[in-house]
Amino acid sequence: MRVMVFPVAFMANTFAMMVVMIGLSLFGRPELAADFGLVHGATVALFYSFSGNARSLILGESGRVDGAAILRLRLLLLLPLAVLAFALCIGVVDGGWLFILLLVMRRAAEWLAEVFLSEQELKHQGKAALRFLLIQGVLSLALLLALLDDGVWALPLTLVWALSPLLGCLSLALLGRALGHAVPVMAGIRQMLPHFGSTAVIGVSVYVFRLFILLVAGKETAGDLFSAFALGGILGAVFSQALGPTMVRQERSAAGPGRMLQLFNLMLVLVALAGCFLLAIVWSVPHLLDWTQKGQLFWLAVGCSLVGGVVMVLAQRIRLRILQDAVGGDVFGSDMLANILLVACIPFVFYELGAGALAVLYLLGAVLSWGFYASERHGLLHLRARGLLSERNLLLLIAFAIFLPLFFQLGGGLFDDRSGTFNSGGVLALLPIPVSVLACYLGVVLLGGYSRARLSLVSLFFVFIGMLLTSLLLGLDQGGEGRQKLVLLVQYILPMFALVLGQQYGKRDQSLLMLAQAGAGVLFLVIPLQLISTLLDGLGYLSPSLFIFSVYQHLQYVPVVFVALFAIVLFVGAAKGWPRSGLLVLSLMMGGYAVLSMSMLALCFMLLVCLGFFIRMLFWRRVDWACGVISCVVLGAAAAGLYAQGSEFFDHKFAAVTTGEALGVPANLSERVVFWRFYVSEMLSDWGVFMLGHVEPPDRLLYPSAHNYYLDFIYNFGFVGLLPLILLILYSACTALRRLPRVWSDVELLGLLGVVAFLLLVDNFLKVGLRQPYSGVFVFFIWGVLLARLAKIRCAGCSDSPEAT
């Protein structure tokens, strides 16, 4: 049990300021305790964000990053972070600048001491750790007594206490190695970037998590929930920050589980039983807890958090094993996905299940963390199994679920509204949710291997940080406006998870082939049923009904998605030599479908697909393929046009507006011009507005949509929020141009590139498809696949096009 001295010393270093703060609060100095809390919160947010999992990396001895390299980086970052922390506190804390300076010095000293303590543990210097523990215990108690007395010794003792972490564990040998480290600074920063991102996203998400609960539930409910989460989740916090790294290192070094591990596992079982017992009391006999003066929600949250704490410990074990792996793993992807998804769940839990359901959030976060950590390396399913769980079948099923326009409602099962004019009225229970959303998140966890989707993860991280930053600078805590802003942020960010799935998917062999096969399956399933339903209903335009369920937004976003699918199937089918009869039948149906959808954008897209296919086949000397496909498309379109001609909807859709008759401008395009003028004028009205966006959305009665995703994004979250997405588009374009000869020779990849380019640069300049759950998940998914495929062709001889063979 001597090994326990190291985690206890680490706890004394990490929690000393909190212990003093609690003592001041309990013994009659709440104002001073509040000052301690404010400085502690600001310094933890900054220094923790740049902690980079240092202790686990040092104990892991991977050889990539050692204690000297980490200490060197911390010495370089120390002054900027300390100045920023001081600036954040100077206008908020009432204790004066010297008091703030000393507390910031204390947190900075703790930050450096983490490295020295980790080196002591690595070298088994138990006496030094025990000495550090005694120094911190004595000085913290002395400082508490001096502050309570408010005598002349308070200030000198605060100075000694602030410097004591370094005085108790400073190693001149390690300091010398750090200052003389041979590895260049930029190389060290690159090695640590994933770990900085990991801790940064945790720190930011904890803040947003608390703020979101405060905005949706109110201060009183939020206060009870925060206290309950802290009380029930203390086991997970202590394990992750103090006990866990030591225990995982002991597991790696010992031949079998030690006595400490057995006792700890027993404690986990007891805590889980205690949580279940408390939940049973809350549900069955809640009056037994009336003497505590706490409501049922508080104890429900405590019970769920006790169980969640056990799950979090199991999750943190996996996380720490990855960090201490000999090959030097990182958990940036897992931390980012789990924390952002947890924040995104808050409005759905609150508005659909009520305030009481917020009690399960800590447990939900623990389960999400366990799922993502467990799938970090290879996914939850090992994809070497045969039969139904083979890699090929799983990939086909994921893509099929992403493409299928099947919607469900939380309050009513499968979506089935044949009017074509459905409006949820802002009620979450009535909002049609596509199964592609569930398939996206489940697919991310099943496929795992997040390091293969690093580009998508980094892009998603910076979009999230940019949107959050602009919201905070505009005043996110302005009551209902702040709540509305965060809900809008969630709406934008959720479809972007499909970008990660797309990169995971595209790294697999034959990913484009399986993509096209799944797309063909969806088109052959949906299009005939929808065309038959249209003929039976006699509407003169495309019916939303598929008999069993209905397609939501069947005239707005789905037609463009289906034409995009058709293009992918067409190019892949031609490259792989699929039966021509099947492609011709599909072309015939798609021509009629595009016309009946009355979507001018889908019709223009179909025209470009046919033209691009003809040009590519002309160079390939397969003009007969192109002529057959184009003939079938024209034939189907002509038949559908004759059927729809003369209908009221057809005339309204394609008639020119009165003011635009001379130019022949369709009514919906003329409408868009009015909206674009409004959004552009509002964005350019002020430089700050352009960079940060607006606090409130526009009046939806007057301007229901920007009809341009990028204008809509900048209006709400500013150019700063959109910048990472713009950079990703530019990166995709530059990568494709640099590899253009290889892309041109790969018929499959060429078709995918054309589809993604149209959706990003045309479709979303006329609509807000990337905001919508179904179309947004679809576009981000195939964009991620494109990024993965472009990265693969950097290797010589990896093209699998027919011409290469």
Q: DSSP readout, 469-529?
A: HHHHHH-TTSTHHHHHHHHHHHHHHGGGHHHHHHHHHHTSTTHHHHHHHHHHHHHHHHHHH
In this predicted model, what pLDDT tens digit does every residue of 693-732 receive, in sequence order? 888 878 777 777 788 999 999 998 999 999 999 999 999 9
Please give the pLDDT value at position 396.
Answer: 92
Q: Which residues of 741-756 are buried (b: 16+ CB within 10 A; e: fewer)?
A: ebbebbbbbbbbbbbb
Residue 80 C-beta-side C-alpha neighbours within 13 Å = 6
In this predicted model, what pLDDT tens digit does every residue of 628-684 receive, in sequence order? 999 999 999 999 888 877 666 666 665 543 344 444 555 566 777 888 888 888 888
pLDDT bin (cut points 50, 70, 90) of residue 541 is: confident
Please give the pLDDT value at position 711.
Answer: 92
Please give the pLDDT value at position 688.
Answer: 84
Please give the pLDDT value at position 679.
Answer: 87
pLDDT bin (cut points 50, 70, 90) of residue 756 is: very high
Work out whether strand 413-414 and strand 407-409 pair parallel, antiparallel, or are unpaired: antiparallel
Contact 563, 633 (CB under 8 A): no
Please give the pLDDT value at position 296.
Answer: 83
Please give the pLDDT value at position 656.
Answer: 44
Q: Which of 337, 347, 372, 349 is nearest to 491 (CA)?
A: 347
In this predicted model, what pLDDT tens digit does every residue of 112-164 receive, in sequence order? 988 898 888 888 888 888 888 899 889 989 988 888 887 778 888 889 999 99
Cα 200 to the center of its chain, rounded Å? 13
Please give the pLDDT value at position 761.
Answer: 94
Rg (alpha carbons) of the chain, rounded to whole number: 30
User: CA-to-CA distance for 306 and 300, rounded, in angstroms?
Assistant: 10
Cα 214 to the center of its chain, rounded Å? 21
Please give the pLDDT value at position 515.
Answer: 93
pLDDT bin (cut points 50, 70, 90) of residue 789 is: very high
Please give the pLDDT value at position 383.
Answer: 47
Helices 435-447, 773-792: axis angle to 10 degrees equals 30
Contact 516, 573 (CB under 8 A): yes
User: CA-to-CA distance for 443 and 440, rounded, in angstroms?
Assistant: 5
Please give the pLDDT value at position 770.
Answer: 92
- What's the mean pLDDT when you consider all of the chain? 82
Quote the Cα angle for 698-700-704, to 5°. Answer: 105
Whether the predicted pLDDT of 89 surpasses 90: no
Q: Which of 381, 398, 385 is nearest to 515 (CA)?
A: 398
DSSP, collapsed to helix, strand or coil, labels residue 665 as coil
* Overall pTM surpassing 0.75 (yes/no): yes
Whether the predicted pLDDT of 457 surpasses 70: yes
- Look at 103-107, 507-511, 646-650, 680-684 and tell me which has the smallest mean pLDDT: 646-650
Whether the predicted pLDDT of 224 surpasses 60: yes
In this predicted model, what pLDDT tens digit does every residue of 294-316 receive, in sequence order? 778 888 988 999 999 999 999 98
Q: Which helix (H) or strand (E) holds 413?
A: strand 413-414
pLDDT bin (cut points 50, 70, 90) of residue 796 is: very low
pLDDT bin (cut points 50, 70, 90) of residue 227 is: confident
First to last CA, the chain: 65
Contact 216, 346 (CB under 8 A): yes
User: CA-to-CA distance for 712 and 700, rounded, in angstroms?
Assistant: 12
* 567, 573, 578, 579: CA torsion to nearest 10: 20
Cβ of 59: how many Cβ atoms within 10 Å? Answer: 24
Please give the pLDDT value at position 790.
Answer: 92
User: CA-to-CA distance for 412 and 726, rounded, in angstroms?
Assistant: 38
Burial of 354 (0-12, 13-18, 19+ CB in 10 A): exposed
Please give the pLDDT value at position 722.
Answer: 93
Cα 129 to the center of its chain, rounded Å? 39
Please give the pLDDT value at position 800.
Answer: 41
DSSP, collapsed to helix, strand or coil, labels residue 430 as helix
Phi, psi of 725 (to 5 degrees): -70, -40
pLDDT bin (cut points 50, 70, 90) of residue 232 is: confident
DSSP, collapsed to helix, strand or coil, labels residue 433 as strand
Higher model confidence: residue 649 or residue 554? 554
Percent of the chain with pLDDT over 70: 86
Whether the predicted pLDDT of 252 surpasses 60: yes
What is the arithmetic mean of pLDDT over 564-590? 93
pLDDT bin (cut points 50, 70, 90) of residue 185 is: low
Task: Give the CA distances from residue 175 to residues 131, 179, 427, in Å, rounded to whole numbers and listed in that order.
Answer: 20, 6, 60
Higher model confidence: residue 804 or residue 432? 432
Contact 324, 244 (CB under 8 A): no
Phi, psi of 425 (to 5 degrees): 65, 20
Domain ranges of the chain: 1-183, 194-377, 388-416+426-441+518-568+579-654, 449-508+655-805
Which residue, chain included where needed, has tokens 């889908």?
Answer: 602
Whether the predicted pLDDT of 93 surpasses 80: no
Percent of the chain with pLDDT over 90: 28
Whether the predicted pLDDT of 276 surpasses 70: yes
DSSP, collapsed to helix, strand or coil, labels residue 550 as strand
In this predicted model, what pLDDT tens digit does every residue of 237-250 receive, in sequence order? 778 777 778 777 77
Q: DSSP state, 772? A: S
Please give the pLDDT value at position 686.
Answer: 84
Please give the pLDDT value at position 566.
Answer: 96
434 Cβ contact list (under 8 Å, min separation 6) = 405, 406, 407, 552, 773, 774, 777
Please give the pLDDT value at position 129.
Answer: 86
User: CA-to-CA distance for 247 and 253, rounded, in angstroms?
Assistant: 10
In this predicted model, what pLDDT tens digit does every residue of 761-780 receive, in sequence order? 999 999 999 999 999 999 99
What is the arithmetic mean of pLDDT over 272-287? 87
Q: Which of 454, 351, 460, 439 is nearest to 395 (CA)?
A: 439
Please give the pLDDT value at position 802.
Answer: 38
Q: Which helix (H) or strand (E) holds 414?
A: strand 413-414
Helices 454-474, 185-217: axis angle to 10 degrees equals 50
pLDDT bin (cut points 50, 70, 90) of residue 803 is: very low
In this predicted model, what pLDDT tens digit does every residue of 394-444 receive, in sequence order? 889 999 999 999 998 876 678 888 777 777 766 666 788 899 999 999 999
